[in-house]
Amino acid sequence: MGVAWVWGYALLGTEAVPVRVEAHVRPGLPGMTIVGLPGVAVREARERVRSGASSAGMPLPAQRMTVNLSPADLRKEGPGLDLPVALALLAAAGRLPAGALDSIGAHGEVALDGLVRPVRGVLSVAETAGKMGVKILLLPITALPEAAAVGHVDALGVRSLAEAVAAVADIRVRERLRRRGRRWLRARSTVPPHGDVHGPDMAEIAGHRHAKRALELAAAGGHHLLLLGSPGAGKTMLARRVPSILPPLTRDESLEVTRIWSVAGLHPPESGLICSRPLRAPHHTASRSALVGGGSLPRPGEVSLAHRGVLFLDELPEFSRDSVEALRQPLEDGMVTVSRRSGSCTFQAACTLVAAMNPCPCGFLGHPQRTCRCAAEAQQRYRQVLTGPLGDRIDIMVEVPPLTALALDEDVAGESSAVIRTRVLAAREFQISRETSAGGLFSPTNGAARHPRLLEKRLCMSAAGSRLLREALVRSALGGRGYVRVLAVSRTLADLEGSAGITQEHVAEALALRLDVVAGILA
Amino acid sequence: MVAPVTALRPSCDEEAALALSWMSADASRGHLPLLHEHTPLEIWRAGAAELRMWGCRHDWVARFSERRHAFSPLEALAVLARSRVEFISWDSPRYPPQLRMLFDPPVGLYLRGEMAAWDTVCSMPRVTIVGTRTPTAYGLAAAAALAAAFADAGVAVLSGLAYGVDARAHEIALASEGMTVAVLGSGPDVPYPMRHRHLMSRVIQSGAVISELPPGTKAAPWLFPLRNRILAALGDAVVVVQAGERSGANITADRALELGREVFAVPGSILGDSHIGTNRLIQQGAAICLSPLQTVQDFHEATRMLTIGRESVGRQSARPSEPPTATEGLVMLALGGGPRTVDEVSEAAGISLGEAAGVLAVLELRGRARRVGPGRFALGP
């Protein structure tokens, strides 16, 4: 009879914030009140916990019960607080020995029949619990694989509220549950080893060697890329295979990706860490907050779900101007800050943008067999998206010509993704060694204004290459930003070849990938 | 109010011409056929009864008489000075006599550009190159090749500054340092379409922009057929590059035929209807464009009588360019057989993919190759 408390967790962005769940049981009119800025789902915990507890054979006392969630000024959402609320109430009602809840954390939804169900954000919760040094973290057993990725926390998987209560009360039960958890994990360790690539392979694409090379370049240098071509030319097919040529995720990257996906509720916790690079392809009707994240308690958007992977925007000009504008910050900084009344959250969003568009609204401008029926104004309007802030952030623009029968008949299989990925990895390694020897990692496009000559010297530009770049500046619409982008792409080309300096050929090929410059499509 | 206005009324043919042409901005065009019989001043001073006797319609006479009173030459001259537009009146020696052959000749022309350039245009052979605003890649390429061939041969290239074939013809004539004139369906100071304002100022710099409409007149659909009659009359021949079923280029061709001008048509695909206008012209007896050079020769042949005494100016200088490198030569050779993708070029020229893409970019930058569609390249500017 009296007061008890236990640690629960509330999600704020991708962070789990520790919440002290306090319960007080006293004589009075029977009823339960939850205070401390509970969201709707948390307020409804009242009914779930009451039913769950009686199903577990430990009905809550017919007394006055108050639950407080501290810090009281942080809005709490989601059913993950069910389990700590139930434990705190049962302890306050005297169902648990005194002090049993000391340094214990819990996270899970309580079902009406007393079972404990998985909820989102398990990885973040486990990380926070580990940092705080709780003795035991009680989780639904299906969430164990995800929590197991965090080494320094004793996560205990429970199936029901009754098991949770028993585990808290009795060390022997804890031991039994721990053994069961290990067995359970072993039985489900079907997680593919790191770097195993599933999904479509580059070898399946006939022809399009030029476009494939551009994709390889984008993968090697982390450049954002635009594919331009008529409907049916193969843009989507190419874009879907970009993740397969990106280097495998490192363990840290895996953790980052899993954290975001778990918080978004898109990753079932029983499948453990995410090990392959994500590809997100939002439809062009996606709203601004769907793309960059939002909601009154901010949730990650598509650009964050594509973190460390590929964000594929098909039919780029069809996206609303508003949502495209919003992509500017994440594409530049690799993270996005969503500010709402309840506070602001920063989500990681280091993705490679792959955009695709037709040459004109009908798609047949310049097609060898078909006629374009678009008005000239409509064509201009269609391409306007490229003159905006997004166009400035796309390093590589490559045209995908419609396939000829000849290329379709080509029976030579293209290179497989694995072969391309070996080159991409080599280029990245070369880049890192080159930049470490030149004094620290350095990106020419990170916005830091530098004198062109210093920049070129730093990137080892040859005299002939520099001359060609200057000729392009004079003869075309290549502006200051375009100049830096061409410089960056030509550096990646040199890295792919393992060449210390940027030659004239590298600059020429980089120029070929700036359609806005050479083809004057923005003129 | 009445007295000073009367004092400023047009008192000579030139002012009367300006006054009459100032009114052609709206539908008041009934007086134009009268020019064949009467001087502008006579028309301006004619009473309502007289105008009716000359065969003008009643409603038009009423409107004309009413509007005539509101005109002030001083104001008009001020507008001209402000917008830096020259007026070439009906009786000016600079008025191209070819326009007089029209049933409804413009009573004057508004000109932007150097008067010297206009004099040059008047003294050289001229070809009108027109076509659809939505050409195929082939149409654009043909427009470019023809404009370049004519410009190189010292023939002035006239067109209408519209999207597609028109703009291409102007651009290539400018790039080949030839003479080019844009005839507008709006005031000479009103760029239409707006997107071509830079092209227009380039045409003004090295050639001329003309219109029969006073400065400030906005473009309107019914003005374009009228513009086309000037294009037809001013050119010694008309080349229709590509026309669909309902292209304005067909109107230009019709007016040119009425005037007895030679009409050339570029043959096009018989699949789809994007070339049906030009193909039908050929069916009806228009001269066929066999090749750019052949067309220039045929043009000279057909217009010999028209252009006697006028000189071909010839292109002064080729643009400075370095000779192509060996690899560039290989790539250009590979492009010789028609449009190619980067993949195809790299295979045909036996060079790496990256090299092919790079060389194509450099060729494009220097005007030796161009893009004809997504990822496909062809020779030429």
Q: How many CB atoms lie within 10 A of CB A290?
A: 17
Domain A192-406 -> CATH class: alpha beta
Q: Residue B111 pLDDT more than 80?
A: yes
Mean pLDDT taken over chain A: 85
Closest alpha carbon to B161 in B116, B126, B199, B125: B199
Percentage with pLDDT > 90 across chain A: 41
- % of chain B surpassing 90 pLDDT: 31
pLDDT beyond 90 at A204: no
- CATH 1.10.8.60 residue ranges of chain A are 439-523
Distances (CA, A) of A52 to A62, A111, A112, B248, B250: 15, 6, 4, 79, 83
What is chain B's alpha carbon radius of gyration, rounded to the nearest angstrom?
Answer: 23
B337 interfaces chain A, CB cutoff of 8 Å: no
Task: Say if residue A161's pLDDT is above 90.
Answer: yes
CATH architecture assignment, domain B100-302 = 3-Layer(aba) Sandwich (3.40)
Please name the member of A210, A369, A370 whose beta carbon is closest to the beta carbon of B357.
A210
**A25-39, A342-356, A393-407, A425-439, range with greatest mean pLDDT:** A25-39
Question: CA nearest A209 in B: which residue?
Answer: B343
B200 contacts B170 by C-beta, under 8 angstroms: no
| Contact between A11 and A120 (Cβ < 8 Å) | yes
Q: Is A188 on the interface with B (CB under 8 A)?
A: no
Q: Are strands A31-35 and A64-70 parallel, antiparallel or unpaired?
A: parallel
Q: How confident is the model at residue A231 (pLDDT cuts 50, 70, 90)?
A: confident
Instruction: Please give the torsion angle defined by the CA atoms of residues A479, A485, A488 and A492, in that order, rounded to the nearest 10 degrees.
Output: -130
B365/A471 touch (CB, cutoff 8 Å), yes or no: yes
Question: Residue B314's pLDDT is what?
Answer: 43
Least confident of A357-371, B273-287, B321-335: B321-335
Looking at chain A, which residues constitute the CATH 3.30.230.10 domain(s)?
3-187
Instruction: Work out the number of other CB atoms within 10 angstroms of the CB of residue A412.
Output: 5
CB contact under 8 A, B361 and A407: no
Q: Which residues of chain B lie closer than 8 angstroms to A409, CB-CB?
A: none
Q: Residues, chain B, total?
A: 381
Residue A411 has pLDDT above 80, yes or no: no
Predicted confidence band of residue B5 (pLDDT cuts 50, 70, 90): very low
Q: Which of B339, B353, B361 sits opposite A508 (nearest CB)?
A: B361
CB B372 within 8 A of CB A478: no
pLDDT at B366: 76
CB spacing of B134 vs A375 below 8 angstroms? yes
Contact A374 B355 (CB under 8 A): no
Residue whose C-alpha is closest to residue B171's, from B137, B191, B143: B143
> Is residue A207 left, alpha or beta, with left meaning phi > 0 and alpha meaning psi from -120 to 50?
left
Is residue A308 within 8 Å of residue A257, measured between CB atoms?
A: yes
Q: Which residue of B has its CA nearest to A366?
A: B373
Q: CA B270 to CA B226: how far, in whole Å? A: 30
Cα separation, B210 vs B198, in Å, equals 16
Q: Which two tokens stand for residue A473?
A: 């500046």
Q: How many CB pairs under 8 A join A and B?
A: 111
B chain contacts of residue A489, beta-carbon cutoff 8 Å: none
Which A-chain residues 348-387 have CB contacts (< 8 A) with chain B? Answer: 359, 365-377, 380
pTM listed for this prediction: 0.66
Give me the residues of B, 201-260, that contact A with CB < 8 A.
Answer: none
Give A128 to chain B, closest Cα distance, Å. 49
Q: Choose between B110 and A343: higher pLDDT.
A: B110
Strand partners, B182: B159, B209
Q: Please check whether residue B149 is in contact with residue B175, taking contact to mean a CB–CB distance below 8 angstroms.
A: no
Q: Which residues of B touch A359 (CB under 8 A)?
A: 373-374
> ipTM score here?
0.73
Higher pLDDT, A73 or A475: A73
How far is residue A303's CA from residue A307's CA, in Å, rounded to a whole number? Answer: 7
- What distance in Å separates residue A409's CA from the closest CA in chain B? 14
User: How many residues comprise chain A?
Assistant: 523
CATH dotted code for B326-379: 1.10.10.10
Chain B closest-CA separation from residue A284 CA (Å): 22
Confidence of residue A470 (pLDDT cuts 50, 70, 90): confident
CB contact at 8 A, B157 and B241: no
pLDDT of residue B110: 94
Q: Residue B316's pLDDT is what?
A: 39
Q: What is the CATH number of domain A3-187?
A: 3.30.230.10
A185 — contact with chain B (CB < 8 Å)? no
Give the per-residue pLDDT at B315: 43
Is the minimum CB–CB distance between B381 and chain A shorter than 8 Å?
Answer: no
Cβ atoms A354, A242 nearer than 8 A = yes
Identify the residue among B132, B134, B199 best suited for mutation to test binding to A, counting A beta carbons within 10 A and taking the highest: B134
Contact assessment for residue B356 and residue B345, using Cβ atoms and an 8 Å cutoff: yes
CB B143 within 8 A of CB B159: no
> Is the separation of the CB atoms in A455 and A484 below 8 Å?
yes
Could you give the residue range(s) of every CATH 3.40.50.450 domain in chain B? 100-302
pLDDT of residue A83: 95
Cβ separation B374–A368 shorter than 8 A: no
Rounded distance between C-alpha atoms, residue A381 and residue A402, angstroms? 23
Over residues B142-155, the mean pLDDT reads: 90
Residues of B in contact with A213 (CB under 8 A): 353-354, 357
Residue A54 in this model has a pLDDT that exceeds 70: yes
pLDDT surpassing 90 at residue A356: yes
CA distance B109 to chain A (A): 29
Least CB–CB distance from B343: residue in A210, A375, A512: A210
As a whole-number percent, the residues of chain A with pLDDT over 70 amount to 91
User: CB contact, 8 Å: B137 with chain A?
Assistant: yes
Give the minimum alpha-carbon distance from B200 to chain A in angstroms, rounded to a whole number.
14
A471 touches chain B (CB under 8 A): yes
Does the beta carbon of B131 lie under 8 angstroms from any beta carbon of chain A?
A: no
**CB–CB contact A376 B163 (8 Å):** yes
Closest-CA residue of chain B to A511: B361
Q: Please, where in chain A does CATH 3.40.50.300 lie?
A: 192-406
Please classify residue A423 by burial: count the beta carbons closer than 10 Å to its beta carbon, then call 0-12 exposed, 13-18 middle and 19+ buried.
middle
Where does residue A133 rank: exposed (0-12), middle (13-18), buried (19+ CB within 10 A)?
exposed
By CA distance, what is A379's nearest residue in B? B134
Q: How far is CA A101 from the centre of its chain?
A: 35
The pLDDT value given to residue B2: 38
Q: Does B133 touch chain A (CB under 8 A)?
A: yes
Across chain B, how many H-helices and E-strands are there? 17, 12
Q: List chain B residues with CB under 8 Å of A369.
A: 271
Q: How far apart are CA B33 and CA B56, in angstroms?
A: 10
Nearest CA in chain A to B139: A366
Assign A122 a pLDDT band (cuts: 50, 70, 90): very high
Average of per-residue pLDDT across B148-158 = 90
**Residues B166, B242: Cα–Cα separation, whole Å:** 11
* B343 contacts on A by Cβ (under 8 Å): 207-210, 407
What pLDDT is attached to residue B1? 34
CB A301 within 8 A of CB A290: yes
pLDDT at A190 over 80: no
B184: confidence class by pLDDT, cuts 50, 70, 90: very high
Please state, in angstroms and rounded to a whole number, the distance separating the CA atoms of residues A156 and A106: 9
Residue B322: pLDDT over 90? no
Q: Does the distance separating the beta carbons of A518 and B365 come in below 8 Å?
A: yes
How far apart CA A360 and CA A363 sit, in angstroms, is: 5
Give A231's contacts in chain B (Cβ within 8 Å): none
* Closest residue in B to A473 (Cα–Cα): B365
- Band of the pLDDT at A521, cuts 50, 70, 90? very low
Segment A426-438 shows an average pLDDT of: 84
Q: Where in chain B does DSSP place strands (E)?
A: 86-89, 108-113, 126-130, 156-159, 180-183, 208-211, 237-240, 262-265, 287-288, 340-341, 369-373, 376-379
For residue B246, give the 3-state DSSP assignment: coil
- CA-to-CA dists, residue B303 to B166, B232, B309, B310, B312, angstroms: 22, 14, 12, 11, 13
Say if residue A442's pLDDT is above 70.
Answer: no
pLDDT digits (tens, 9 = 90+) for B190-223: 998 988 999 999 999 999 999 999 998 888 888 8
A517 pLDDT tier (thresholds 50, 70, 90): low
Confidence label for A412 from pLDDT (cuts 50, 70 and 90): low
Q: Give the gap in angstroms from C-alpha A371 to the nearest C-alpha of chain B.
A: 6
Location of structure tokens 């810090």: A71
Other C-beta atoms within 10 Å of B305: how many?
7
Task: Tell me if chain A has a CB within 8 Å of the CB of B193.
Answer: yes
Q: For position A177, what pLDDT does the model report? A: 93
Whether residues B376 and A380 touch (CB distance < 8 A) is answered with no
**Range in A375-379, B89-93, B105-109 with the lowest mean pLDDT:** A375-379
In chain B, which segments carry CATH 1.10.10.10?
326-379
pLDDT score recorded for residue A447: 44
Residue A298 contacts B where some CB pair is shorter than 8 Å: no
CA–CA distance, A506 with A491 (Å, rounded to integer): 8
**In terms of CA atoms, which chain A residue is nearest residue B140?**
A366
Measured N-to-C along each axis, helices A463-475 and B353-365 cross at an angle, to the nearest 10 degrees, of 40
Region A282-296 average pLDDT: 88
In the block, residue with structure tokens 């779900």: A305
Average pLDDT over chain B, rounded to an integer? 85
> Could you tell me how many helices (H) and strands (E) chain A has, helices first?
24, 16
Model confidence pLDDT, tens digit, residues B17-35: 888 888 776 656 778 888 8
On the question of a cis peptide bond just before residue B193, with omega within 30 degrees of 0, the verdict is yes
Q: Looking at the complex, does the CB of residue A511 fall below 8 Å from at least one CB of chain B?
A: yes
Q: What is the pLDDT of residue A91?
A: 94
Read off the tokens for B121.
């245009």
Could you say which residues from 189 to 218 on chain A have a Cβ atom under 8 Å away from some Cβ of chain B? 207-211, 213
Q: Which range has the worst mean pLDDT, A49-63, A488-502, B41-55?
A: B41-55
| Spatial contact of A137 and A153, defined as CB atoms under 8 Å apart | yes
- Decide which of A369 and A484 is more confident: A484
For an interface test with A, the pick among B343, B347, B370 (most A C-beta atoms closer than 10 Å) comes out as B343
Partners of residue A233 in chain B, C-beta under 8 Å: 374
Calpha distance A216→A306 (Å, rounded): 18
- All residues of chain B having their beta carbon less than 8 Å from the beta carbon of residue A404 are 341
Residue B341 confidence (pLDDT):
86
pLDDT at residue number A363: 83
Q: What is the arithmetic mean of pLDDT over B307-329?
A: 59
In the sheet with B262-265, reading across from the earlier edge strand, the strands are B86-89, B108-113, B208-211, B180-183, B156-159, B126-130, B237-240, B262-265, B287-288
Flag if B354 and A493 touch (Cβ within 8 Å). Answer: yes
CATH of the domain spanning A439-523, picked from 2.40.30.10, 3.40.50.150, 1.10.8.60, 3.30.300.20: 1.10.8.60
Return the amino acid letter for B187. G
CA-nearest residue to B361 within chain A is A512
